[in-house]
Amino acid sequence: MYEDDRTVDELIELAEEAESFGLAKGMEEIRGVARGKGVALAVDLHGMLTGLQLTEEALSLGPEQLAAEIMRLSGEACTASLQKGIRAIEAGCGGDVAAAVAEFMPSAKSD
């Protein structure tokens, strides 16, 4: 497990510096997308659904299959958004920080 010896004040200072670089704003704009069986959806970095499009193909699946497809695609999109987030952290904070964050999010690791 990763131990961090920095103080709370040091961490706050780092967070404020990161804000000045626009990292937080960039992270807010990250989206993961997935498509399949007439469904297209997007989620933000928190996994919240930000877009959903359904075609006639999707509507013909029926409620149970449609719900299952949306859940499946949501998982794919969440993984994609987490991977983008890790790349953004790596670009903004360095590989060590990104690796430490990814250690706590196994689904964010690239295949």
What is the torsional sign of CA 40, 43, 91, 100?
negative
Q: In this predicted model, what pLDDT tens digit does every residue of 35-75 receive, in sequence order? A: 999 999 999 999 999 999 999 999 999 999 999 999 999 99
Q: Residue 100: which H helix or E strand, with range?
A: helix 95-103
Q: How confident is the model at residue 82 (pLDDT cuts 50, 70, 90)?
A: very high
Q: How confident is the model at residue 91 (pLDDT cuts 50, 70, 90)?
A: confident
Q: Residue 13: which H helix or E strand, with range?
A: helix 8-20
Q: In this predicted model, what pLDDT tens digit does every residue of 12-40 receive, in sequence order? A: 777 776 666 567 777 889 999 999 999 99
